[in-house]
Amino acid sequence: MLLSRVLPSNTTLLPTSSHARVAPLRYRHVPAGGGAITVPVRRRFAMTIRARDAAPVLDIEPQPLKLLDRRTKLKIAVIGFGNFGQFLARTFAAQGHEILAYSRTDYSDTARSLGVAFFDDQNDLCEQQPDVVLLSTSILSAEAVLRSLPIQRLRRSTLFVDVLSVKEFPRNLFLQLLPPDFDILCTHPMFGPDSGKHGWAGLPFAYDKVRIGDSDDRVERCRAFLEIFDREGCRMVEMSCAEHDETAAEIQFLTHTIGRVLAKLDLKSTPINTKGYETLLNLVQNTCSDSYELYNGLFIYNKNSTELIEKLNDALDTMKKELFERLHGIFRKQLFESSGRSSIDAGK
Ligand code: NAP
């Protein structure tokens, strides 16, 4: 029977996700005045019937997670499809995961070329009910972006992941803003489009399972997400967000600061570059190819950065003091030695 014959004229047929295609019947509450219901058409093909003027759909029943599907494929929504979001999505898609993306800028062409479904409306993206929502916006905009997400359209057990370069801040944000049923995984792939352009093997990936439900399906979903990085050969490091920030201030903020300070010197390549000097030029290149917003976020949202920049300043002062004291010592010695000689000369 043709479904269109039995449906009201203001309904739209949408294919449901690949996950739904193999899932058994899924029933969703239809609020008065509109909504959606998933109807089995054939065993391996379901359609979502949605009134075009439907009110937001709220899942009333937690959806059962299919263990077998989780092992093989995740539906991941990348929020913030800029430099880093695209970089991650390329590998996620290459591993066979289904990737959706949303960003304030229209990246639909780039998304298409990566095999990613781009949404210019967050409501539409959330209604796709991804397994994982991955926050990849700038640190500075993370709170505003998270607050603007229509999370009521997501499945109640959604896993939220972030990849921000600081960790205590998104951890606290997630705990504060997300309903208790959502799982939370805070991560930091400690590499980027430049350092990871030839693959991720051996590169560190820090993570903290902040809140993962006990049930097998939730544990399995988190494991499946982490496996993406494990499969690429990343060095998986489990550590608390606080521990990460303490360590990352030195590793990351210091590196970026030195790179950006050197950039202010406008260093040029010369015919007599030494290896050390080349390292400095590369450092400038690597750090300044990230956005200033990212660098700024490392400073503002990691409390350890303030102390570190003071220490760096003190270290430079100490070094300058040492150098000038030595220089004065040499001048003084020369002065007295030469004045001693001239008085001897004068006594002759
Ligand atoms: P970024 O400058 O830190 O962030 C750019 C992203 O933030 C873009 O998706 C941009 O969206 C979005 N954004 C910025 N301001 C926004 C606003 N007011 N409202 C909504 N969205 C906004 O650069 P990035 O390199 O892509 O980094 C993304 C995240 O990954 C950051 O949290 C960073 O710390 C983390 N990370 C980056 C690296 C790296 O090597 N780059 C490595 C590890 C982790 P539009 O493009 O749509 O404007």
Of 212, 206, 195, the residue nearest 229 (C-alpha): 206
Does residue 256 lie in a domain region?
A: yes
The total of structural domains in the chain comes to 2
- Would you say 139 and 298 are in contact if contact means Cβ atoms under 8 Å apart? yes
pLDDT in the model for residue 68: 40
58 vs 282: CA distance, rounded Å: 51
Does residue 130 lie in a domain region?
A: yes
- Would you say the CB of residue 189 lies under 6 angstroms from ligand 1? yes
Tell whether 107 and 195 lie within a shared domain. Answer: yes
> What are 269-278's pLDDT values in tens digits?
999 999 999 9
Tell whether 270 and 156 lie within a shared domain. Answer: no
- Would you say the CB of residue 104 lies under 6 angstroms from ligand 1? yes
pLDDT in the model for residue 345: 55
Cα-Cα-Cα-Cα dihedral of 337, 340, 346, 348, to 10°? -100
Tell whether 151 and 255 lie within a shared domain. Answer: no
In this predicted structure, the answer to whether residue 23 has a pLDDT above a threshold of 50 is no
Check residue 79 and give left, alpha or beta (phi > 0: left; psi -120 to 50: alpha).
beta
Q: Mean of the per-residue pLDDT values for the chain?
A: 83
Tell whether 256 and 199 lie within a shared domain. Answer: no
Does residue 344 lie in a domain region?
A: no
> To test the ligand 1 pocket, which listed residue (118, 138, 161, 251) has its Cβ within 8 A of the most ligand atoms?
138
Residue found under tokens 């993306």? 101
CATH of the domain at 212: 3.40.50.720
Amino acid occupying residue 32: A
Tell whether 105 and 212 lie within a shared domain. Answer: yes
- Would you say the CB of residue 126 lies under 6 angstroms from ligand 1? no
Tell whether 82 and 225 lie within a shared domain. Answer: yes
In this predicted structure, the answer to whether residue 35 has a pLDDT above a threshold of 50 is no
> What are 132-148's pLDDT values in tens digits?
999 999 999 999 999 99
Tell whether 213 and 276 lie within a shared domain. Answer: no
Does residue 1 lie in a domain region?
A: no
What percent of the chain is predicted at pLDDT more than 90? 73
The Å distance, Cα 27 to ligand 1 centre, comes to 37
Q: What is the mean pLDDT of residues 143-168?
A: 97
- Would you say 201 and 229 are in contact if contact means Cβ atoms under 8 Å apart? no
> What are 297-323's pLDDT values in tens digits?
999 999 999 999 999 999 999 999 999
- Of the pLDDT bands very low, low, confident and very high (cuts 50, 70, 90), residue 25 is very low
Q: What is the mean pLDDT of residues 186-203?
A: 95
Tell whether 189 and 170 lie within a shared domain. Answer: yes
- Would you say 70 and 217 are in contact if contact means Cβ atoms under 8 Å apart? yes
> What are 219-255's pLDDT values in tens digits?
999 999 999 999 999 999 999 999 999 999 989 999 9
Tell whether 211 and 283 lie within a shared domain. Answer: no
> Which of the residue ranges 32-36, 62-66, 167-171 has the most confident prediction, judged by mean pLDDT?
167-171
> What are 216-226's pLDDT values in tens digits?
999 999 999 99
- Of the pLDDT bands very low, low, confident and very high (cuts 50, 70, 90), residue 5 is very low
The residue whose CA has the least distance to atom 39 of ligand 1 is 192
- Would you say the CB of residue 110 lies under 6 angstroms from ligand 1? no
Does residue 79 lie in a domain region?
A: yes
pLDDT in the model for residue 45: 34
In this predicted structure, the answer to whether residue 44 has a pLDDT above a threshold of 60 is no
In this predicted structure, the answer to whether residue 48 has a pLDDT above a threshold of 50 is no
78 vs 80: CA distance, rounded Å: 6
In this predicted structure, the answer to whether residue 70 has a pLDDT above a threshold of 80 is no
Task: From the CA of 165, give the closest atom in ligand 1.
Answer: 34
> To test the ligand 1 pocket, which listed residue (187, 294, 305) has its Cβ within 8 A of the most ligand atoms?
294
Cα 260–Cα 262–Cα 265 angle in degrees, nearest 5: 120
The residue whose CA has the least distance to atom 17 of ligand 1 is 141
Q: What is the mean pLDDT of residues 149-154?
A: 98
- Would you say the CB of residue 91 lies under 6 angstroms from ligand 1? no
179 by Cβ neighbours in 10 Å (0-12 / 13-18 / 19+) ranks as exposed
The Å distance, Cα 218 to ligand 1 centre, comes to 27
The Å distance, Cα 293 to ligand 1 centre, comes to 8
Tell whether 130 and 229 lie within a shared domain. Answer: yes
Does residue 38 lie in a domain region?
A: no
Tell whether 199 and 259 lie within a shared domain. Answer: no
> To test the ligand 1 pocket, which listed residue (78, 83, 191, 205) has its Cβ within 8 A of the most ligand atoms?
83
- Of the pLDDT bands very low, low, confident and very high (cuts 50, 70, 90), residue 337 is confident
Tell whether 172 and 254 lie within a shared domain. Answer: no
The Å distance, Cα 294 to ligand 1 centre, comes to 7
In this predicted structure, the answer to whether residue 167 has a pLDDT above a threshold of 80 is yes
pLDDT in the model for residue 71: 58
Cα 319–Cα 321–Cα 325 angle in degrees, nearest 5: 120
pLDDT in the model for residue 309: 95
Domain range for 147 is 69-239
Of 10, 5, 6, 40, the residue nearest 23 (C-alpha): 40
In this predicted structure, the answer to whether residue 343 has a pLDDT above a threshold of 60 is no
Does residue 108 lie in a domain region?
A: yes
pLDDT in the model for residue 216: 95
In this predicted structure, the answer to whether residue 346 has a pLDDT above a threshold of 70 is no
pLDDT in the model for residue 344: 53
pLDDT in the model for residue 332: 87
7 vs 2: CA distance, rounded Å: 9
The Å distance, Cα 160 to ligand 1 centre, comes to 17
Does residue 218 lie in a domain region?
A: yes
Task: From the CA of 80, give the closest atom in ligand 1.
Answer: 9
